[in-house]
Structure 1
Amino acid sequence: MISTFMEHREACEAALKEKHFLDASQKEGFLDENAKSNLSQLKALGRVFNKAAEDDVPSEVPDYLCCKITLDIFRDPVITPSGVTYERAVILEHLQKVGKFDPITREPLYPSQLAPNLAIKEAVRSYLDAHGWAYKMD
């Protein structure tokens, strides 16, 4: 995807430079004004491509979209009665292997008390739609 993005950027820059060359060959005496206009257009094109690339640059995933145990982005978030959200498989494993308590609040917790956290699930989906790099490849 990145190479395609860069190819589009280079193609646009080449087309703009070619347009400048053709304009310069047809307009004698207006080269300084034409060169300034071309430079301005190239800078504007660069700003557009830089802005478009911002969401594709890896950065920190917001904490509220990550499991408190694994620190990975949620796939199937569940919420406890105390309001803490965990990845379903991870909290179920904790309840089975470690004990029937919330690992953060230490309050008693049973699998039947876990509820899907649909708000966080939707927030993760929106985030991933805008930041495709955040998908982990297993």
Structure 2
Amino acid sequence: MSPAADSAASKRQAELLKQEGNAFFKKDRISAAIDAYTGAIALCPKVAVYWTNRALCYKRRNEWVRAEEDCRTAIQLDSHSVKAHYMLGLALLNKDELAEGIKELEKSLELGRGAHPASYMVEEIWQELSKAKYIEWENLSSERVRQLHKLKEACKEALRNYNSLDNPPAYVPEEQLNELEEVFRNARKSDIPTEVQPAFDTAYFRALTGLI
């Protein structure tokens, strides 16, 4: 058999294995699906979809390290793979690498909106991205609260030092303390959203993603 014929036979066999893997996955036979996709990869390692399909199996089993490895390989083979960027983003979020995870989810959303803007996957990506962004906002908000508290204590200390020139040490007039508390209370309020948009509001989602 010639090399070309052998290559064609390998491609056909790899596709058959992929189809078997898909069938196993639909039946929730994840181990069998992984074996089938692994066989396809062994025959044709440069086909990105085989890697993303196996990564999806690892995602189903919460084996995020393996899912990340397969997604990175898939992206090397096809940098426009929506699924690879999406699952890589989820894997990174699972490792608490929030910034990098959000970056990958944003990339997958960008690619998905360009290729299939009305697909279910674009909405799924947006929902995961929304949750990640909210966690990021919460983390930043908590840090700002800590910084405001430190600043408030520093301001109190400055008031004590100022007032100690004419008053007993550590004495701060109540009026000044109340004014200071009001300033920082307003600062905290400004960091709280007045309205939380429902995560699954279809009209809102479509407006943000440019869907019709």
Bigger proportion of residues as strand: 1
Q: Which has the higher contact order (CA 8 A, sep 6+)?
A: 1
Q: TM-score, normalised by structure 1?
A: 0.39
Structure of higher CA gyration radius: 2
Bigger proportion of residues as helix: 2
Q: TM-score, normalised by structure 2?
A: 0.27
